[in-house]
């Protein structure tokens, strides 16, 4: 069976994000997938990249360089236990689903911290092994998120600009950089400003998409997809 890791960042289980996460667990489990959830708020996940991420001696105790130190620590098995555990989940997963509310045109800080700390050099990328040759090239990712603004606001001519512009740093700069193939995002626009009926329809649409998710082709991982 396929393995799925859902990295989930919302404080309230009863939120729409919480419901979207639960639906993904239920539907993918029904398909025979093994589903793991990293519930970042519930885990009190530490978003800050610090010296605490390295166990034992530093490679260079004179001047701390987080990127170099985590790379060296990864090679010798000297990363902190929480990072080793998250890397194990990523390594085992065929599909990564990131479920979150859009904050200030980006992911919440706790999820960005997960990216900063988990996807270290040596594990997720190692130049020149990046983009199509990134170290996680056997995996798929999907960003599923809610927005405060309406679909019209995030259209190409809208006040917020095309939603794809915001996906560039997340999908391309992080996932594609690490070699991950990216499925089209799943976006629930402005759930707080629609009727209860429309929110239910959002959940139904997500459940329906999940039924055929494994048949989907990844997006064209090129600048054209984002900026054409």
Q: What is the pLDDT of residues 185-207, one digit of tens each?
A: 999 999 999 999 999 999 999 99
- Tokens encoding 43: 């885990």
Report the pLDDT value the prediction gives residue 228, as an integer from 0 to 100: 84
Tell me the average pLDDT across 127-149: 96
Q: Using H for helix, E for strand and C for coil, what is the string for the chain?
A: CCEEEEEECCCCCCCHHHHHHHHHHHHHHHCCCEEEEEECCCCCCCCCCCHHHECCCCCCCCCCCHHHHHHHHHHHCCECHHHHHHHHHHHHCCEEEEEEECECCECCHHHHHHHHHHCCECCCEECCECHHHCCCCCCEEEEEEECCCCCCCCCCCCCCCCHHHHHHHHHHHHHHHHCCEECCCEEECCHHHCCHHHHHHHHHHHHHHHHCHHHCCCCCCCHHHHHC
- The first and second tokens of residue 72, run together, are 């060296």
- Calculate the average pLDDT of the chain: 97
Average pLDDT over residues 84-109: 98
Average the pLDDT over 31-55 and give the result. Answer: 98
**Closest C-alpha among 217, 97, 227 to residue 168:** 227
> pLDDT confidence of 218, banded at 50, 70, 90?
very high
> pTM for this structure?
0.97
What is the CATH architecture of 3-227?
A: 3-Layer(aba) Sandwich (3.40)
Strands 181-182 vs 95-101: parallel, antiparallel or unpaired: unpaired
Give the residue from 88, 114, 89 showing the smallest Cα distance to 100: 114
222 phi and psi, to 5 degrees? Answer: -140, 160
Tokens 């029904």, located at residue: 30
How many Cα atoms are found within 13 Å in the side-chain-facing hemisphere of 216? 20
Pair of tokens at residue 79: 């990363």
Q: What's residue 39's pLDDT?
A: 98
Q: Could you report the per-residue pLDDT of 46-91, keeping only the tens digit for each?
A: 999 999 999 999 999 999 999 999 999 999 999 999 999 999 999 9
CA distances from 32 to 25, 91, 141 (A): 11, 19, 19
pLDDT at 45: 98
């Amino acid at each position: 069976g396929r393995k799925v890791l859902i990295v989930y960042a919302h404080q309230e289980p009863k939120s729409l994000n919480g419901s979207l996460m639960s639906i993904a667990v239920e539907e993918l489990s029904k398909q025979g997938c093994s589903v793991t959830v990293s519930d970042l708020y519930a885990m009190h996940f530490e978003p800050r990249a610090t010296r605490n991420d390295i166990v034992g001696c530093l490679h260079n105790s004179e001047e701390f360089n987080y990127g170099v130190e985590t790379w060296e620590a990864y090679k010798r098995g000297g990363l902190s236990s929480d990072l080793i555990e998250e890397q194990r989940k990523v390594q085992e997963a065929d599909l990564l689903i990131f479920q979150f509310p859009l904050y200030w045109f980006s992911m919440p800080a706790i999820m960005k911290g997960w990216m900063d700390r988990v996807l270290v050099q040596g594990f997720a990328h190692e130049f020149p092994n990046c983009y199509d040759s990134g170290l996680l090239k056997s995996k798929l990712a999907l960003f599923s998120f809610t927005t405060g603004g309406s679909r019209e606001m995030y259209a190409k001519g809208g006040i917020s600009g095309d939603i794809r512009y915001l996906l560039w740093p997340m999908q391309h700069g992080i996932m594609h950089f690490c070699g991950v193939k990216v499925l089209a995002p799943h976006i629930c626009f402005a759930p707080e400003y629609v009727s209860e009926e429309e929110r239910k329809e959002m959940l139904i649409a997500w459940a329906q998409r999940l039924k055929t998710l494994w048949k989907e082709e990844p997006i064209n991982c090129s600048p054209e997809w984002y900026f054409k």
